[in-house]
Structure formats: C-alpha cells, structure tokens
Amino acid sequence: MSSEKSEFIELARLCASGDRKAQERLYRLFYGRMLPVCLRYAKDSELAKDLLQDAFIKVFSKIKSYDGVGSLEGWIRRIVVNNAIDEFRKKKNDFFLMESIENFSETEEEEDDDKEVKLKASQVIEALQELTPAYRAVFNMFVFEEMTHAEIVEELRLI
C-alpha cells in the first residue's frame, strides 16, 4: 500500500471520528480537484460551489462507509457526481426545457472539417454551461462518467 493511500485512509478515519482539523484538511485537499467536476454540471460557478458544498456535507456524513478499497479521491468524486445528478433529478420538470433555441441556429458558413479547433479548458467549461441542464447532464455522464445511454436513462429515471 502506498504511503499516500495509507495517509488518506488515516485522514478518512480521523474525519469519521469527527476530527474538525482532519475534515478541514480533507476539504482543502479535494476542493480544487472536485470544483471542475461541479462546473461541468452547473450553469455557473455559484451553483457549482453550492453543489460542491452540499457534496462535502454528504462526504462527511458518509465517510464512515469508506473502507479504503479504491482511492479516496474516486470515492469523493462519485459522491460529487451523484450529488450533481440528484440536483437535476429534483428539478425534473424543468429538466428538458430548452433555455434558448437561438444557440442551436446554423451558421451560414460551415467551418472546414479539416481545421483543428484549439480551446482552453475555461472555454470548454463556458460552452458546457451554455447547454440546458438536461443536455449538460447527459453530456457529462456520457463523456466524463463513461456511462452508456441505457445507464444514463436509468440514472436519471427517465423511463
């Protein structure tokens, strides 16, 4: 077992025992790693921060169930993603309403297919945030979470 993994297991154990300093350390350690995950699901940075805050509350309430199998980061990431999906599931009535059809209008000039498009990560995040909540969630689950379409339907309980 690597020393980092054993440190994370000890950190999780301390958090589970209610050690506030350990909880703060875990929060600071993973906040920066998990915020981009929330940004992919949220329409703006404020919602992303709210989603992440809620996710960390769940992390601390469930940390006793972390058994050290698999990475602590992966375990936390799964909670963060599930929290984001749960948020959109709560708003199911608005889930598939398009915010603006204008974003989907075709341009008069088609771009050359051979051109390489180079985007910064911030540009990709901004583009994702322009999507409706439904499109954004499905895109994230398919591309980043590598879920099948059937798994996405089941996760979102669409049928």
- Does residue 113 sit within a domain? no
Domain assignment of residue 95, given as a range? 3-99+118-156
Write the CB contacts of 83 (distance below 8 Å, at least 6 apart in sequence): 51, 54, 55, 58
Quote the number of domains for the chain: 1
Please, are residues 83 and 37 in contact by the beta-carbon 8 Å criterion?
no
State the pTM of this model: 0.65
pLDDT digits (tens, 9 = 90+) for 42-71: 888 999 999 999 999 999 999 999 988 889
42-47, long-range: CB < 8 A, 24+ apart: 42/84, 42/129, 43/129, 43/133, 43/136, 44/129
- Does residue 112 sit within a domain? no
CATH at 135: 1.10.1740.10
Alpha carbon distance 100, 117 (integer Å): 24
The region, left, alpha or beta by phi > 0 then psi within -120 to 50, assigned to residue 43 is alpha
Alpha carbon distance 37, 43 (integer Å): 12
- Does residue 41 sit within a domain? yes
Q: What is the CA radius of gyration of the chain?
A: 18
How large is the average pLDDT for residues 16-30?
96
Reported as a pLDDT band with limits 50, 70 and 90, residue 109 is very low
